[in-house]
A and B are shown apart, each in its own frame.
Chain A
Amino acid sequence: MENQITQFGYVLIFMVIGVSFVGIGFLTSWLLRPDRPNDEKLSSYECGEEVVGSSWVQFNIRFYVVALIFILFDVEVVFLFPWATVFKEFGTYGFLTGLFFLGVLIVGMLYEWRKGDLEWVRPHPVIPSLEPKQIKARQLREEKPVTEPDPAAAE
């Protein structure tokens, strides 16, 4: 049972099988399921409320920053894979070159940390408190009924 497929050929076979399985699944359900669409059913789900606008809106910029930092780090990690497999053959030299490469990466990370790019927006809790002025005003309000002129005394 010899054939000419390379190992990546098998990967392709797996992908094709994956896609076909999903296709067969969809086909089976298409044959069995009912199909009775109406306007209400096809509207976007918003917990039963009327849909307000589109959801294709501007998004929190933090997510894009995370994506950018991820790309930098991921590319660096990719470069480290070949290093990790062979550095032992070069002894101290191999170790130090890897260390230098990692050092540049770590300096970049410290810079991002210092700049606050790794901070996520956090809600600032508002703790209710009373200013001294407000306390005084409240005391005045509470004392007011006492200071009201007594009708009996006015007579």
Chain B
Amino acid sequence: MHDLVLKTLGIGDLLAWLGVPDGSLVYPVVASVFPLVFLIIFALLAVYAERKVSALIQNRLGPMETGPWGLFQTTADILKLIQKEDITPKAADKILFFVAPVLVFTGTYASLAAFPWSSGFVGADLNVGIFYLLAISSLVVAGLLMAGWGSNNKWSLYGAVRSTAQIVSYEIPAGLAVLTAIVTTGTLSMNGIIRHQEGMWFGLLFQSPFLFVAFIIYLIASLAEVNRTPFDLPEAESELVGGYHTEYSGMKFAMFFLAEYGNMFIVSGIAVAVFMGGWLTPWGTEPSVLMGVVWMILKSLFFVFFQMWLRWTLPRFRVDQLMYLCWKVLIPIAFACLIGQAAVEVYL
């Protein structure tokens, strides 16, 4: 990936001109910073978009004061958060309290490493790409549990434990749904999965009814994994104040927020890559490298918008309903899809 980024933007030439030798570690490091830049810009715009979407759905205007149409509202928020006093409660476990936001953000950013932006434009083109993505996103769970336990606050602990139970439960239907697609593609590499979908309208989605159901299951499970409504029990404002980040302020809180929006993008990206053809055009041809990035981001943004839309449309689940939906509805259906798709692959 680093070759492409550096060549496209001319930064490689700049570094070479500065006297950085060929094969130096500097090139990949500089290239790997680009997803971070994207993530920050995305989070800034996504928070703004979320406010505007919620406002329009509720027939309000949303932020209008900071800049034209309130465009700089999120930037102002970030500036405010940087200046905020950092409070570590006396009762807290200082080390866990500090490590939690670092772990949560690093887990999110490490998942971007295997994110398929375009053909030959993947941070690390692992042969176990999708498996790595599912695994590394679990790092967030450890971070949330640390935050909840480290805060030594009742709301935080409740939020963290609920969130852990929810995320680990919904990881199983999500994994099985992805597995249904793997059965068809026969590879775990992200680019391999996407290349398999060449020539298909909207990728694997409409190839068989099992894959379509698996896609819906993944969509529901991914909502639960990023703690979005209707599965936002861990942060239920009306009963838990703020959930696991009740005690966090300033920059640490900002990191949780950044990771949350990053995860929204990543789960959408996985859904797009596995079921909707990733960086391929919707009619299944291979675009140029740059257009591939555009398609990938556009498709992912559609699902990010879908998540926002749901948030302001649906009410929140109750804990027992949440567990019922996961263990007694989604997992059996996901098993049926997996077996059905495997039978289709072998016998049809």
Contact = CB atoms under 8 A, between A and B. Distances in A.
Contacts of B36: 17-18, 21
B236 interface: no
B12 interface: yes
A81 B346 contact: no
Interface in A110-154: 113, 118-122
A33 B82 contact: yes
A121 B32 CA distance: 47
Interface in A17-68: 17-19, 21-23, 25-26, 28-30, 32-37, 39, 41-47, 51, 54-56, 59-60, 63, 66-67
Contacts of B332: 109
Contacts, number: 224
A119 B319 CA distance: 11
A7 B124 contact: yes
Given A1-B27, A25-B251, A66 B106 contact: no
A11 interface: yes
B241 interface: yes
A11 B105 CA distance: 14
A81 B25 contact: no
Assign chain A's interface to a size class. Answer: 35 or more
Contacts of A33: 82-86, 250
A21 B327 CA distance: 38
B182 A66 contact: no
Contact of A45 (B27, B105, B113, B247): B247
Interface stretch (B60-68, B205-213, B216-224, B336-344): B336-344
Interface string B30-59: 001101100000000000000000000000
Contact of A10 (B32, B107, B131, B151): B32
A39 to B, nearest CB: 8
Contact of B342 (A34, A81, A95): A95
A4 B22 CA distance: 12
Contacts of A32: 82-83
